[in-house]
Structure 1
Amino acid sequence: MTQPRIAVGPVAAGERSLAPDLARGVMLALIALANSVVYLYGRPYGVRQHIVEDGLLDRVISVLDVTLVDGRAYPMFAALFAYGVVHVYQRQRAAGVDDLETKRLLRRRSRWLVVFGAVHVVLLFPGDILATYGILGFLLVTWQRTADRKLLTAAGLWLLVVALAQGASALLPPSGGARSYFLSFETADPLAALALRPAEWLLTPFGITGVGSAILIGTWAGRRRVLTEPAAHRTLLLRTAVIGLTAAVVGGLPIGLAVGGVWEPTSGLALWGVSALHAVTGVAGGLGYAALIGLVALRVGERRGPVVRALAATGQYSLSCYLFQSVVFVALLMPYTLGLGATLGTAGIAAVALGTWLVSVLLADLLRRTGRRGPAEALLRRLTYRRPTEKMAV
Structure 2
Amino acid sequence: MSSSEASAGPVALRERALAPDLARGLMLALVALANSVLYLYGRPYGARQHIVEHDLLDRVVSLLNVVFVEVRGYPMFAALFAYGVVQMVRRQQATGIPDHDIDRVLRRRFRWLIVFGFVHAVLLFPGDVLGLYGVLGFALLAMLRVKDRTLLTIAAGWLVVVALVQGIAYVTPQGSGQRSFFWSFAVSDPAIALALHPVEWVMTPLGLLGVGSAVLIGVWAARRGVLTEPERHRTLLVRTAIGGLVLAVAGGLPMGLAVGGFWTPSSGLVMWACSAAHSVTGVAGGLGYAALIGLLASRFRDRSGPVILAITACGQRSLSCYLFQSVVFVALLMPYTLGLGGTLGSAGVALLALGTWLVSVLLADRMRRAGKRGPAEVLLRRLTYRNSR
TM-score, structure 1 as length reference? 0.96
The corresponding residue for 1:232 is 232
8 Å CA contact 1:252–1:281 kept in 2: the answer is yes
TM-superposed CA distance for 1:22, in Å, is 0.2
The corresponding residue for 2:250 is 250
Unaligned runs of 5+ in 2: none
8 Å CA contact 2:23–2:290 kept in 1: the answer is yes
SS of the residue corresponding to residue 142 of structure 1 reads: helix
The corresponding residue for 1:86 is 86
CA distance in 1 between partners of 2:274 and 2:223 (Å):
34
8 Å CA contact 2:47–2:174 kept in 1: the answer is no
Read off the aligned partner of 2:204 and give its amino acid letter. Answer: T
> Is structure 2 residue 93 aligned with structure 1 residue 96?
no
8 Å CA contact 1:40–1:342 kept in 2: the answer is yes
**Pairing 1:18-29 to 2, within 5 Å after superposition:** 18-29=18-29
TM-superposed CA distance for 1:202, in Å, is 1.1
CA distance in 2 between partners of 1:3 and 1:307 (Å):
41
CA distance in 2 between partners of 1:361 and 1:173 (Å):
38
CA distance in 1 between partners of 2:179 and 2:149 (Å):
42
**Pairing 1:257-276 to 2, within 5 Å after superposition:** 257-276=257-276
Percent of residue pairs bearing the same amino acid type: 67
Unaligned runs of 5+ in 1: 390-394
8 Å CA contact 2:244–2:284 kept in 1: the answer is yes
TM-superposed CA distance for 1:387, in Å, is 3.9
TM-superposed CA distance for 1:92, in Å, is 0.7
**Pairing 1:1-394 to 2, within 5 Å after superposition:** 4=4, 6-171=6-171, 176-387=176-387
CA distance in 1 between partners of 2:26 and 2:295 (Å):
13
**1:48-97: per-residue Cα shift (whole Å, max 9, x none)?**
00000000000000000000000101101110011111111111111110
8 Å CA contact 1:32–1:357 kept in 2: the answer is yes
TM-superposed CA distance for 1:224, in Å, is 1.0
CA distance in 2 between partners of 1:175 and 1:122 (Å):
29
**1:204-255: per-residue Cα shift (whole Å, max 9, x none)?**
0000110010001001111111100101111110000000000000110000
**1:253-300: per-residue Cα shift (whole Å, max 9, x none)?**
000000000001001111111111101100000000000000000011
CA distance in 1 between partners of 2:315 and 2:259 (Å):
31
CA distance in 2 between partners of 1:236 and 1:388 (Å):
38
Read off the aligned partner of 1:60 and give its amino acid letter. Answer: V
**1:297-344: per-residue Cα shift (whole Å, max 9, x none)?**
001121010000000000000000000000000000001100000000
TM-superposed CA distance for 1:177, in Å, is 2.8
Read off the aligned partner of 1:73 and give its amino acid letter. Answer: G
Read off the aligned partner of 2:45 and give its amino acid letter. Answer: Y
Aligned length: 388
Read off the aligned partner of 1:130 and give its amino acid letter. Answer: L
8 Å CA contact 1:17–1:228 kept in 2: the answer is yes
Read off the aligned partner of 2:314 and give its amino acid letter. Answer: T
SS of the residue corresponding to residue 126 of structure 2 reads: coil
8 Å CA contact 1:7–1:92 kept in 2: the answer is no
8 Å CA contact 1:18–1:228 kept in 2: the answer is yes
8 Å CA contact 2:47–2:171 kept in 1: the answer is no
8 Å CA contact 2:52–2:175 kept in 1: the answer is no
8 Å CA contact 2:86–2:219 kept in 1: the answer is yes
TM-superposed CA distance for 1:176, in Å, is 3.0
8 Å CA contact 2:45–2:174 kept in 1: the answer is no
CA distance in 1 between partners of 2:106 and 2:203 (Å):
26
SS of the residue corresponding to residue 276 of structure 1 reads: helix
CA distance in 2 between partners of 1:250 and 1:142 (Å):
34
Q: Root-mean-square deviation (CA), in Å?
A: 1.3
TM-superposed CA distance for 1:14, in Å, is 1.5
8 Å CA contact 1:25–1:318 kept in 2: the answer is yes
TM-score, structure 2 as length reference? 0.98
TM-superposed CA distance for 1:7, in Å, is 4.1
SS of the residue corresponding to residue 202 of structure 1 reads: helix
Greater CA deviation, 166-175 or 326-335? 166-175
SS of the residue corresponding to residue 188 of structure 1 reads: coil
CA distance in 2 between partners of 1:303 and 1:3 (Å):
40
